[in-house]
Amino acid sequence: MTPSSARAVMSHPAFCGLDRAHLGDLIEELAGPWTARCEAALRERRGRNRQRAAGAGPDHQLVFVDRVLVTLVYLRLQLPHAALAKLSGVTRPTVTRAIHEIRPLLARRGFAVPQQPGVRLRTLADVFAYAEAEGVGLRVDGTEVQVRRPRAGRAGRKAFVSGKKKQNTAKTTTISDGSGRLLWAGAHRPGRMHDQTAVRTEGIAEQFRLHSRVKAEVDEGYRGMANEFPDQVSAPPKKPKDDAPLGERHAWRERRRRQSSRRICVEHVIGEEKKWRPLQRYIGRREYYPETHAAIVGLVSDRAARRPARRRTSTETGALPAHGRLTTTSQSARPARPDPNRVPSRKKFARLTFGAR
C-alpha cells in the first residue's frame, strides 16, 4: 500500500474516529507543539542551537500527518503496532516512537467548552469555576476499564481487583453537564478503591467547599458526598421500609426516576467514551493508561462541544398531576400520527411497492 492510499484509509472516520473537519483542526493545533518538542529534543542532544536552516537534514520516515493518523487509529481501534507499521509501510519501532510522541500532546489538550472554542478545561478547579460562572449543573459518575493483571508476587497485585466487576480494573471519574457534554475525566485509581475514597483523595469534595453555588447529580455510590453537601449534591432518595404505605413507595419510585432522568446524561457520556477500544479493555502497559485515557476523552469532549444542547426531558418540561400521568408542554407540538387508512400518493405507492431505485 502506498503512503497516500494508507493516509486516505486511516483518515476515514471509521479508522480515526474523527470527521475530516475535526481532523484538520487537530493537525493544525498539534503541529506547533510537536515541532517545538522535536527542536527541544535535538537541541538537548546536540548541546547547542541549530546551525543549519530549519528543514535541513534527513527527513522523517513517517511525516507529522501520518504520525497523528497512526496515533488516532491506535487510540480508536487498539491495533497492534506491527499491523499499523505494515499499513503505513514503516517498521514497528517507528510506529511506537510516533505514538509516544503524539499521545502526550493529545493528553495535555484538556477538555473543550461548549460555544467557547478558545477555552480548555484542564483541572478540577477549572471545571468548578466554569460551572459556577455559567450556572452549569454537573453530573458526576465513575467507570471501570479492565486492565492487565499485575505479575505474580508483585506488591499491590490485589489493588486492581474490583469488587463489582470481579476483574482487574482501573477506575476513573467523569463529569459532564446537563446536556451530556464531557467537561472532565480523570482521578485514576486501582479498581479496588471506592468512588467515595477517590472523591476525597482527588479533591472533588474540596472543590464543592470552595464553590458553594455548584450543584451536582450523583448515583448511589456517592451517598457520602450527598450527605456532606445536602444543598449541592443530589443522590437517589433512600428506599422506604417494607411496611411503608403504598403511596409513599410510589412517591419514592417517582422521585428516583426523576433523579435518574436528570443524571442519565453522564452515563451516555461514558458510553461515548467506551466506543474507543482501549476504554473497553485496555491491553497496553498500565503505566500508560492515564495518558491514553486523557488523550481519548479530550477528543470525545471536542465532539461533544460541537453538538447542540439536548432537548429537555419530560421530567423537566412537565409536572405530575394528581392522577399520576405526566403532561408535558411538548405534547401539543408533536406531529399527529399518520392515518393508516389514508391512500398514499402515486410516488410513495410506487416506492413502497417496487422499492427505492
Residue-level pLDDT at 117: 81
Residue-level pLDDT at 310: 57
SS3 for 97? helix
C-alpha cell at 15: 479508522
Residue-level pLDDT at 56: 65
Residues of the chain with pLDDT under 70: 1, 54-59, 309-357
Residue-level pLDDT at 197: 83
In angstroms, what CA-CA distances link 324 with 12, 17, 255, 261, 319?
50, 44, 13, 17, 10
Question: What are the pLDDT digits (tens) for 154-208?
Answer: 777 888 888 888 889 999 999 999 888 999 998 899 988 888 888 888 888 899 9
Residue-level pLDDT at 114: 84
Residue-level pLDDT at 52: 73
CA 2 to chain centre: 34
Pair type for strands 138-146 and 182-190? unpaired
pTM for this model (two decimals):
0.81
Question: What are the pLDDT digits (tens) for 55-94?
Answer: 666 667 889 999 999 999 999 999 999 999 999 989 999 9
Residue-level pLDDT at 318: 46
What does residue 323 show for φ and ψ, rounded to 5 degrees? -80, 0
Residue-level pLDDT at 250: 92
- CB neighbourhood size of 213 (10 A): 11
- CB neighbourhood size of 40 (10 A): 10
SS3 for 184? strand
The answer to whether 185 and 230 have CB atoms below 8 angstroms apart is: no
